């Protein structure tokens, strides 16, 4: 019996969607039944430790690798059935740019553009010049690509993805090898793409960068999708920590317990002792938070400091994968 067709998003709300997408290499499962939903107009961060299946997933999205099972929809079209119709609407920079070192940046882009059957030769010069200017390489257009820095090559790769109008950009480590100034430039580029309505899918190991430019993210671990959603949703699913600095740690702990929390006392009680309590789920709302300090003061607690540590994307990542950000690929 043939498989039942999957009903993908028909309202156009998603730029990329997968259902039970799986890739095996022999007995090894590289990507394990992931259900991904990338909203149109979002800047979507794709995170995961080295070997978690990010690049393999991206290659399946673009029809570069055949999926073992599952379904893919890109811009509302089933892949890879509609590959020829979809790819002209998608720009991609995957696993770093590769160019002819003896050709200039401009000539490299012209050569690549001429290989695109949908590209007009009549407007090629203008489109190449515009793409180079867009990524800040207009002044280096005549310079041989072999003399480009790694950051310049990265921007040239992005320029290649911009030779035609794109509805979706897939960027694999777009800030790889860039200095702080280059990183800021690429960050501004990504924001400008999104402002124009282009969906940007960014694979990155730099969590700080993702937090600055992305609106949504997904986290892979050992080939499985362990979390996805808006950044606020991902952070909100983490654990907040209440911290009270006081010389009256015992009394403070009693007050917090009376308010329904589970405080932890420091090893020693001094002027700088800090009582902590985990805030999970709906254990405490904003009104409850506002009542804590007055309750402490009313009980004679001398409050030297009070704060609530909000979870970061890095905290959530470590909790889900057990890996630090420095090994994310």
Alpha carbons 73 and 75: distance in angstroms, whole number: 7
Which of 9-13, 247-251, 280-284, 292-296 has the lowest average pLDDT?
A: 280-284
User: Are residues 303 and 296 in contact, defined by beta-carbon separation less than 8 angstroms?
Assistant: yes
Question: How confident is residue 46, by pLDDT bands cut at 50, 70 and 90?
Answer: very high
271 and 146 assigned to the same domain:
no
Alpha carbons 94 and 170: distance in angstroms, whole number: 8
Mean pLDDT across the stretch 111-119?
A: 87
180 and 59 assigned to the same domain:
yes
pLDDT of residue 7: 57
pLDDT of residue 209: 77
Alpha carbons 165 and 242: distance in angstroms, whole number: 48
Q: What is the CA radius of gyration of the chain?
A: 25
213 and 276 assigned to the same domain:
no
Alpha carbons 314 and 210: distance in angstroms, whole number: 10
Q: Which residue has the tokens 């992931």?
A: 34
The tally of domains found in the chain comes to: 2
Mean pLDDT across the stretch 175-182?
A: 76
Helix (H) or strand (E) holding 219: strand 216-221
pLDDT of residue 314: 74
pLDDT of residue 11: 56
> pLDDT digit string (tens) for 228-265?
999 888 876 667 788 999 999 999 999 999 988 888 88
Mean pLDDT across the stretch 131-160?
A: 90
Mean pLDDT across the stretch 36-43?
A: 95
129 and 53 assigned to the same domain:
yes
Question: How confident is residue 19, by pLDDT bands cut at 50, 70 and 90?
Answer: very high
The structure tokens listed for 173 are 């480590």
What is the CATH classification number for the domain harbouring 84? Answer: 3.40.50.300
Nearest to 61, CA basis, from 31, 26, 40, 41: 31
Residues in the chain: 329
> Quick check: is 3 in a domain?
no
pLDDT of residue 211: 83
Q: Where are the alpha helices (DSSP H) in the chain?
A: 54-61, 83-86, 105-114, 124-134, 150-161, 180-195, 207-213, 231-236, 249-258, 286-298, 313-321
pLDDT of residue 172: 85
21 and 113 assigned to the same domain:
yes
What is the CATH classification number for the domain harbouring 248? Answer: 3.30.70.100
> pLDDT digit string (tens) for 128-140?
999 999 888 999 9
45 and 151 assigned to the same domain:
yes
32 and 113 assigned to the same domain:
yes
Mean pLDDT across the stretch 313-319?
A: 74
pLDDT of residue 4: 42
User: Are residues 78 and 10 in contact, defined by beta-carbon separation less than 8 angstroms?
Assistant: no
Q: Please determine, for residue 2, whether its predicted confidence score (pLDDT) is greater than 50.
A: no
């Amino acid at each position: 019996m043939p498989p039942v067709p999957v009903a993908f998003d028909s309202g156009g709300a998603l730029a990329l969607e997968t259902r039970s997408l799986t890739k095996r290499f022999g007995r090894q499962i590289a990507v394990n039944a992931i259900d991904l939903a990338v909203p149109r107009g979002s800047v979507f961060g794709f995170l995961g430790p080295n070997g978690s299946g990010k690049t393999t997933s991206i290659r399946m999205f673009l029809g570069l690798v055949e999926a073992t099972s599952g379904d893919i929809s890109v811009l509302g079209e089933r892949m890879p059935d509609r590959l020829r119709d979809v790819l002209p609407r998608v720009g991609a920079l995957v696993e770093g740019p590769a160019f002819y070192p003896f050709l200039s940046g401009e000539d490299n882009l012209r050569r690549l553009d001429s290989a695109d059957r949908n590209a007009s030769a009549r407007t090629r010069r203008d489109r190449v010049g515009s793409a180079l200017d867009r990524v800040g390489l207009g002044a280096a257009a005549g310079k041989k690509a072999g003399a480009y820095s790694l950051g310049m090559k990265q921007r040239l790769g992005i320029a290649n993805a911009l030779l035609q109008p794109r509805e979706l950009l897939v960027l694999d480590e777009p800030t790889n090898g860039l200095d702080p100034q280059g990183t800021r430039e690429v960050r501004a580029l990504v924001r400008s793409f999104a402002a124009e309505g282009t969906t940007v899918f960014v694979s990155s190991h730099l969590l700080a960068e993702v937090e600055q430019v992305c609106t949504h993210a997904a986290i892979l671990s050992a080939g499985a999708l362990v979390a996805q959603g808006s950044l606020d949703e991902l952070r909100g699913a983490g654990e907040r920590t209440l911290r009270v600095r006081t010389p009256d740690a015992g009394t403070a702990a009693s007050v917090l317990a009376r308010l329904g929390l589970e405080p932890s006392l420091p090893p020693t009680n001094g002027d700088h002792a800090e009582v902590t309590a985990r805030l999970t789920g709906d254990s405490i709302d904003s009104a409850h938070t506002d009542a804590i300090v007055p309750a402490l003061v009313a009980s004679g607690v001398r409050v030297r400091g009070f704060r609530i540590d909000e979870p970061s994307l890095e905290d959530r990542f470590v909790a889900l994968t057990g890996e630090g950000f420095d090994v994310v690929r």
